[in-house]
Structure 1
């Protein structure tokens, strides 16, 4: 287990290229080893099958005029040993055995051995040989000669007449398999050499394949290191093909582009916020300087002028407060975290409260209300802020004594004013941050209200639009569609 742990630690400590090369070489090595092993066993089975077929074709033992048997028993055993010694002493016979040459001997029922004169080598018997006596068919076993040479032995039961006595004998027919074993041994060495060479080539090929396959990863790593070193987001790498590496490269390019867009939005937001904050801060500083100078010179301002200056300062402070609140609202992530401030919200109740606040800001206006129940899943505070911003926009541009129509039917909230409306060429900018129509620059506001409305509606999964009134009359129509249902969910 410790060795396995050390090997695993070593493997994990290698580079991805090295690990891929090692795995490729290992996979090829295992495949080559299995193929070589299967080849060896297949050749062995075929060779031994050929030996068995030769033994099946061996002629039967003939007794009588055609073939004479020596005596069975101890004399035959002595003759067997003498024949085995003579065969072992003849190197030429051992080196060049004759093909299709079989050695035959018989085993009587009492275990005595009978040896035909045609046989040249004695077969070593086995206690299991007598088990086939009196049976039909043929069986094979691995055996050997008395001189130690390996052989394949065929066993069968035969009926013979020996010395005038007919009886059952076990016939052993053997064929030497030394050549077969030598061939298998040579084949094993060849396959081992081929497998070793294949492993080496697999390692080289694995290294080349790993280097080629990981080139896109190297480019990706270089791009990431470049971004980390220089903070130049937006860097992309070329994408080739449609494989996993190409998908990873595409995802990286998308992420890099998204980071660039996010940085640009942050930069633009900071620049726009600084620009919007400069005006009220400059006015505040001017008024404060004027008050300080009047006190330092001992020439106090008239009471009405001082009151007017303090009123202006209060209005500018309120404008700063609203602007900072809007900036904080916009600084939140575009999508809220799951479960963060989300609940079932009664949109009709929010619309009712927003209308009451709008009445205070436009005391001379008439609000026509047609609100039906509608429940949505979202952030109650953010939704109320969005509805209030829509109504504030309508109040700001409504003429004195005008009317504001508010309706909520089937999840569609509309706010219609009867003011000057929005020029057609400016409609595409109304939801941009800090954008204000040139004709309304003198009116209070930061240009963030409608941006907050758009962001809140998108976060809730709805849609928002602002355009001219549907009936072609004066004024603008703001429309918000939010997913929900008319009954409170259980």
Structure 2
């Protein structure tokens, strides 16, 4: 069995499908042929039985059995004594009855006395082998009969009707050899048809498997092409709406997603390299200047050295922020596992973020309207998002300006009174590394709002950025998060 399973498992999918199709058709043909054979056999047996049922119960017609005496040479003294009380007066056997019927439906009768003596019908040449159970018919009621399979003397098969007449048993038999021969020929015919059907089913199954698995071949070729060339984004044509079409559509979606992922990865690496180049170049220039001043023995003036070190520190801080932002964005864009999402008090996060923003903008005013709001999400990620929104507001607010922040019914708004964002640039504000041309001289990596969008989406919310609705200067960032006003 293991060897058979290994042989079957080593076959191709097309071969296995063809084999299963041929096997299913073979079983169906075999069952149909078997059912057909049994139905024909039952019909033939029923016709033979009907023929026997139509044969007379008495082989003597209207004559009285007691008016006939049988020669002892034919029936035996015991049988003659059982059949009649007078002496034998005739040489006729059974009143000259002849066998009846044609073909399958010939029949002939014989008498069996109580001691087992057999008397053949006149002119009959076939004797039926007597079963000892046949003598039980002596207790039958008038017109009561039974049927059994039997044989003639010599072995030919027959169907036998057993009945009682007077004080003897009447066995009426009909030969079934021709019927058995016909059934045997029918079995051979059905077997041949079944064999041809199995061969045809195998060939048809092969063709069907080849046609049905053509999309799978295309899918396999596409996968092998991607594995060989690493050219993600390859798609295959989709036809219909069956399971294979769904598989092809899923593969196309996966291939497109991989291509988009690779494109985003490539763009992220390129943008990160571009952003890292500027601070690294500045750091290298400053370090070279310090080394050259030491090598030449001409130290820099203290004020210049202090300013140079302060610039290097600022550049290191910029690099640290940029690397932190890249690590934050390196997480998958899909939702984080459920176990990392907890109930978060958003109003407490807002208060902590405002305290940090006050340190970064000591000359600014903060107008707060904060109501309790509890959300289900990643606490550190949401806190980083709120801090980034406040950092942008602080960065673009004029000296002495006011930053307005409100949290009401799950809607967080942060507004500054800075120059605002041109309408044609609003569609790019959440792109990674995108920075407005007017703000590229300000510190920042262009990743802050991308982090905000990712954190809010992971919490099931939405974020948008637009001009102030009251017609004044500035920009309003709006965040909507599902939650509730009371702690769960």
TM-score normalised by structure 1 residue count? 0.90
Tell me, yes or no, if structure 1 residue 143 matches structure 2 residue 150: yes
Report the equivalent of 1:11: 8
CA distance in 2, matches of 1:359, 1:72: 141
Gaps of 5+ in 2: 80-100
Hey, what's the Cα distance between the residues in 2 that align with 1:472 and 1:185?
101
Distance 2:76 2:263 in 1: 105
Counterpart mapping for 1:240-251 below 5 A: 240-251=239-250
Give structure 1 stretches of 5+ with no counterpart: 81-95, 159-166
Against the structure 1 CA distance between its residues 209 and 64, is the aligned structure 2 distance closer, same or farther, given a 3 Å change threshold?
closer
Distance (Å, rounded) in 1 between the aligned partners of 2:136 and 2:469: 108
Q: Secondary structure at the match of 2:239?
A: coil
Q: Distance in 2 between matches of 1:255 and 1:130?
A: 84
1:429-468 equivalent positions in 2, closer than 5 A: 429-468=428-467
Contact 1:103 1:120 in 2 (8 A): no
Equivalent of 1:54 in 51, 75, 96? 51
Query: Where does residue 471 of structure 1 map in the other structure?
Result: 470
**1:202 to 1:99, Cα distance in 2 relative to 1, 3 A:** closer
Note the C-alpha offset of 1:206.
1.4
Q: CA 1:117–1:359 in structure 2 vs 1: closer, same or farther (change >3 Å)? A: same
Question: 1:70 touches 1:114 (CA, 8 Å); kept in 2?
Answer: no
Distance, in Å, in 1 between the alignment partners of 2:234 and 2:76 is 94
Does structure 1 residue 103 correspond to structure 2 residue 108?
yes
Cα separation, 2, equivalents of 1:77 and 1:278: 130
- Whether the aligned pair in 1 keeps the contact of 2:104 and 2:175 (CA below 8 Å) is no
* Residues 69-88 of structure 1: pairs in structure 2 closer than 5 A: 71=70, 75-76=74-75
What's 1:227 paired with?
226
Asked if the contact 1:72–1:113 (Cα under 8 Å) also holds between the matched residues in 2, the reply is: no
1:329 shift after superposition: 0.6
- Once the two structures are superposed, the pairs formed by residues 388-403 of structure 1 within 5 Å of their partners are 388-403=387-402
Q: How does 1:189-268 map to 2 (within 5 A)?
A: 189-268=188-267
Q: 2:87 maps to which residue? A: none
8 Å CA contact 2:128–2:153 kept in 1: the answer is yes
CA contact (8 A) 2:159 2:175 kept: yes
1:80-100 CA distances to partner (integer Å, 9 max, x unpaired)?
9xxxxxxxxxxxxxxx97664
Q: Give the secondary-structure state (helix, strand or coil) at the position aligned to 2:340.
A: coil
Distance of 1:69 and 1:20 partners within structure 2: 76
Aligned-pair CA distance for 1:111: 4.2
User: After the TM superposition, which of the residue ranges 60-69 and 146-155 deviates more from structure 2?
Assistant: 60-69
Residue among 124, 143, 164 paired with 1:157: 164
Q: Aligned partners of 1:72, 1:265: CA distance in 2, in Å?
A: 116
Q: Return the offset for 1:283.
A: 1.3
Secondary structure of 2:28's aligned partner: helix
CA contact under 8 A between 1:142 and 1:153: conserved in structure 2?
yes
Please give the root-mean-square deviation of Cα atoms over the aligned residues, in Å. Answer: 2.2
Q: Counterpart of 1:321?
A: 320
TM-score (norm 2): 0.90
